């Protein structure tokens, strides 16, 4: 049997973690990336990485609470075993990163410092200044560079993944890739292809994501048969700096260190924010959510900022929607920890945020949904069976998916600082799973497959490229992209309704039809970015349909998917008996909604459009409960829900041996 190889597509945190772990095990990896891996989008992660630590432990924290925060924050839409396993691994992952030299901030005693992030009451987040993602990525990049010198990693940087190669039985035998400089297309034989290709924010035009986050690779896998799950769950980050080319993230850590969100009580108060006295400021998050304050989960902070600007007309500016994010009252040492992000604001806005409140607005930030992956549950621990070839394995044999590209860990809403953890976790645990997958392959390795299989795949992609370059028409790909982004941002972000979603789906149809008439302004065969972009635009349109259709069909509110038409009315009666009655009605409606909609959206590609079905979610460890952050009548709902679920034989709360 010839040598076995793994293709790793994407060199962000997930791809690099998996690569170094595979290399350590002696598995040869082809690392394919559209950019030098050190420039991957993970560099943009700012705030930190979550894990229970000795300090929080002594305040009553433990892995189970991190797990509970994650599934509660995610509105229970994630399968629980992988999330539980991830939270259990948290402390070990931080320790590993620490050993690899990540310059985490330190306490005077030399221990790792921690900050608080949204959706939790504990200071659970380790950080390196305000460029944590960059620092973690560099540490893993350095390890992979070491393995490169040992001959175990072969990099294909500035190469684009065009699609997997499946044999007659539907098993993945490699991938087709293209050199973005010479435009040469070639195949790589491999026994496993891992997609660690990040999110798809560019579908929304401008987002906090990098230029490479088109979802292109995910769409190509989807068209080849990989299921796309929970596409409609797109996180809109509450605080970003609006820009002409990008909406730049202003990390949650600004609030974690004490930054406050407010608007002047007087609409569009023209005074300098410094001159507006506290009594004339509306700290709406603190007032509406006394428990979590400025650190409510992201979907909630986003909706409140939206509400204050759109419905209450309290935007700081008249022509442009924004609210103040104020760090001007923070201590010098707190500001120092935020240096990296304050610099970004200063550079791009020309205003010093240390002395002037920042102006921010929500922006598309993260794809909770993504390619579907499997896992094997450990019945003893409630976590995962380590090394099972099923972990992170898509429905197509031989294709694995990691990081933001998968749908596994964040449910309907991701908690801040959980993404770095999920990326590295999935990267580390997939390595033994792939090793076992490789060992299980009996029918010879990919290299033993007929040459025609690989050549045929290359020719197919070459033909599509030639056709697109030769295409005649009057449509401009950049203008089409702008239209797509405008529609998606307007209809499929913070507030959704079926009328807009239907219109958006029609728009996507129209854009797809017009895409057929797209004409390239560059027909050359060398570093043709015009071509690469236009091809990715086709992929974006494909995923836009998956996202929009999923959103249209899901008639409920869950996490980031907020459809007011289907919101359960909060109890508001003054009379206690009436209030109780309303709470019971609320809880029954919630139960009904859970029974119907606590399901993974499964999209399968078909020529006529995505075929959508639903799959049950494993919520066996923590029974779903109403997510009541700051909800009107939260207390009575929680009380009523507890009483109601006590009388009905609820699912087992915690399996034996699980929990802390």
Partner 1 sequence: MATATHGHSKHPHEEHAHANGRKFTVRVLRQEMAHSGSHWETFELPHEEGMNITTVLQRIAANPVTTDHEQTTPVAYDACCLEEVCGACTMVINGRVRQGCSALVHKLLEESPTGIELRPMTKFHVVRDLVVDRSPMFQHLKRIKAWVRVDGYHDVGPGPRISPKEQEEAYPLSRCMTCGCCLEACPQFNDRSPFIGPAAISQAILFNPHPTGRVDRDDRLAVLAGQGGIVDCGNSQNCVKVCPKDIPLTDSIAKAGRDTTIYKIRKWFGR
Q: Which stretch binds partner 1 (CB under 8 A): 37-45, 59-67, 592-600, 609-617?
A: 37-45
Least separation in angstroms between CB 371 and partner 1? 22
Q: Which of 1, 2, 211, 660 contacts partner 1 by CB under 8 A?
A: 211
Number of residues that bind partner 1 (CB under 8 A): 81
236 beta partners = 364
Measured CA to CA, the distance from residue 479 to residue 533 in angstroms comes to: 12
Least separation in angstroms between CB 12 and partner 1? 11
> How many C-beta atoms lie closer than 10 Å to residue 274's C-beta?
10
Interface positions, 517-576, toward partner 1 (CB under 8 A): 521-522, 524, 526-527, 529-530, 533
Site map 155..194 versus partner 1, x via CB under 8 A: --x-----------------------x-------------
Site map 120..159 versus partner 1, x via CB under 8 A: --------xx-x--xx--xx--xx-xx-xx-------x--
Least separation in angstroms between CB 412 and partner 1? 27
Interface positions, 374-433, toward partner 1 (CB under 8 A): 428
| 78 contributes a contact to partner 1 by CB under 8 A | no
Residue 298 annotated in active site: yes
Measured CA to CA, the distance from residue 73 to residue 120 in angstroms comes to: 9
Q: Which of 4, 80, 210, 253 contacts partner 1 by CB under 8 A?
A: 210
> How many C-beta atoms lie closer than 10 Å to residue 432's C-beta?
17
Q: Which is nearer to partner 1, 135 or 413 (CB)?
A: 135
Interface positions, 592-651, toward partner 1 (CB under 8 A): none
Measured CA to CA, the distance from residue 304 to residue 326 in angstroms comes to: 16
| 479 contributes a contact to partner 1 by CB under 8 A | yes
Measured CA to CA, the distance from residue 300 to residue 209 in angstroms comes to: 21
Q: Which of 2, 184, 243, 510 contacts partner 1 by CB under 8 A?
A: 243
Residue in this structure with the two tokens 């935020």, named with its chain if needed: 338
398 Ramachandran zone, left/alpha/beta (phi>0; psi -120 to 50): left
Rg value, the chain, Cα: 24
Q: Which stretch binds partner 1 (CB under 8 A): 63-71, 165-173, 342-350, 594-602?
A: 342-350
> Which H/E stretch holds residue 626?
none
Interface positions, 304-323, toward partner 1 (CB under 8 A): 316-317
Least separation in angstroms between CB 149 and partner 1? 5
**Candidate list 298, 496, 535, 545, residue with the active-site label:** 298
Q: Is 245 exposed, middle or buried (0-12, 13-18, 19+ CB in 10 A)?
A: exposed
CA distances from 26 to 17, 29, 153, 177, 192 (A): 14, 9, 10, 24, 15
| 98 contributes a contact to partner 1 by CB under 8 A | yes
CA distances from 424 to 105, 351, 354, 428, 565 (A): 19, 35, 33, 6, 38
Measured CA to CA, the distance from residue 156 to residue 190 in angstroms comes to: 14
Least separation in angstroms between CB 384 and partner 1? 16
CA distances from 499 to 302, 558, 565, 567, 609 (A): 22, 19, 11, 16, 19
Q: Which of 2, 3, 95, 267 contacts partner 1 by CB under 8 A?
A: 95
Q: Which is nearer to partner 1, 297 or 416 (CB)?
A: 416
The token pair that represents 118 in the structure block: 């949204």
| 18 contributes a contact to partner 1 by CB under 8 A | no
Q: Which of 26, 151, 277, 350 contacts partner 1 by CB under 8 A?
A: 350
Residues designated as active site: 298
């Amino acid at each position: 049997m010839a040598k076995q190889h793994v293709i790793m597509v994407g060199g962000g945190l997930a791809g690099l973690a998996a690569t170094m772990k595979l290399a350590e095990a002696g598995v040869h990896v082809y690392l394919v990336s559209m950019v030098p891996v050190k420039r991957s989008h993970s560099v943009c992660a700012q705030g930190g990485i979550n894990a229970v630590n000795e300090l929080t432990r002594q305040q009553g924290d433990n892995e189970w609470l991190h797990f509970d925060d994650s599934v509660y924050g995610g509105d229970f839409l994630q399968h629980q075993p992988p999330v539980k396993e991830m939270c259990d691994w948290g402390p070990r992952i931080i320790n590993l990163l620490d050993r690899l030299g990540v310059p985490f901030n330190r306490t005077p005693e030399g221990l790792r410092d921690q900050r608080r992030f949204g959706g939790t009451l504990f200071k659970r987040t380790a950080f390196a200044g305000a460029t944590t993602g960059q620092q973690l990525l560099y540490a893993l990049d350095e390890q992979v560079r070491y393995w490169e010198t040992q001959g175990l990693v072969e990099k294909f940087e500035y190469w684009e993944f065009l699609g997997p190669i499946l044999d007659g039985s539907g098993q993945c035998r490699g991938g087709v890739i293209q050199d973005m400089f010479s435009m040469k297309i070639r195949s790589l034989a491999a026994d496993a292809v891992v997609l660690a290709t990040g999110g798809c924010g560019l579908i929304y035009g401008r987002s906090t994501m990098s230029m490479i986050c088109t979802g292109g690779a995910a769409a190509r896998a989807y068209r080849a048969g990989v299921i796309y799950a929970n596409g409609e769950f797109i996180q809109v980050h509450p605080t970003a700096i609006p820009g002409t080319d990008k909406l730049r993230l202003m990390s949650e850590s600004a609030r974690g260190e004490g930054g406050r969100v407010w608007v002047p009580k007087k609409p569009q108060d023209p005074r300098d924010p410094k001159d507006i006295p506290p009594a004339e400021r509306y700290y709406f998050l603190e007032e509406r959510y006394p428990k979590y304050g400025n650190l409510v989960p992201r979907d909630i902070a986003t909706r409140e900022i939206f509400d204050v600007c759109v419905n209450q007309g309290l935007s700081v500016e008249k022509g442009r929607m924004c609210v103040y994010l104020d760090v001007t009252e923070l201590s010098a040492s707190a500001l120092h920890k935020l240096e990296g992000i304050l610099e970004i604001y200063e550079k791009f806005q020309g205003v010093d945020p240390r002395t002037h409140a920042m102006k921010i607005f929500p922006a598309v930030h993260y794809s909770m949904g993504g390619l579907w992956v499997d896992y094997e549950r450990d019945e003893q621990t409630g976590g995962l069976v380590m090394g099972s070839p099923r972990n992170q394995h898509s429905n197509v044999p031989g294709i694995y998916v990691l990081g933001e590209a998968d749908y596994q860990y964040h449910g309907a809403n991701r908690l801040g600082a959980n993404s770095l953890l999920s990326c590295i976790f999935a990267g580390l645990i997939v390595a033994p799973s792939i090793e076992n997958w490789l060992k299980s392959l009996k029918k010879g390795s990919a290299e033993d497959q007929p040459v025609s299989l690989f050549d045929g795949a290359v020719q197919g992609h070459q033909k599509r490229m030639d056709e697109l370059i030769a295409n005649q028409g009057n449509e401009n790909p950049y203008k089409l992209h702008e239209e797509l982004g405008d529609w998606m941002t307007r209809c499929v972000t913070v507030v959704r309704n079926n009328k807009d979603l239907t219109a958006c789906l029609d728009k996507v149809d129209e854009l797809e039809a017009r895409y057929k008439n797209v004409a390239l302004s560059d027909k050359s065969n060398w570093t043709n970015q015009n071509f690469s972009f236009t091809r990715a635009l086709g992929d974006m349109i494909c995923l836009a349909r998956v996202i929009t259709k999923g959103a249209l069909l899901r008639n409920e509110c869950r996490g980031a998917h907020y459809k007011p038409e289907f919101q359960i009315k909060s109890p508001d009666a003054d009379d206690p008996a009436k209030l109780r009655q309303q709470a019971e009605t609320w809880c029954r409606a919630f139960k009904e909604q859970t029974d119907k909609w606590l399901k993974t959206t499964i999209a399968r590609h078909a020529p006529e459009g995505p075929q959508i079905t639903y799959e049950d979610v494993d919520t066996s460890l923590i029974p779903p409960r109403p997510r009541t952050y700051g909800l009107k009548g939260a207390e009575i709902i929680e009380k009523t829900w507890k009483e109601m679920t006590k009388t009905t034989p609820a699912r087992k709360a915690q399996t034996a041996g699980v929990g802390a």
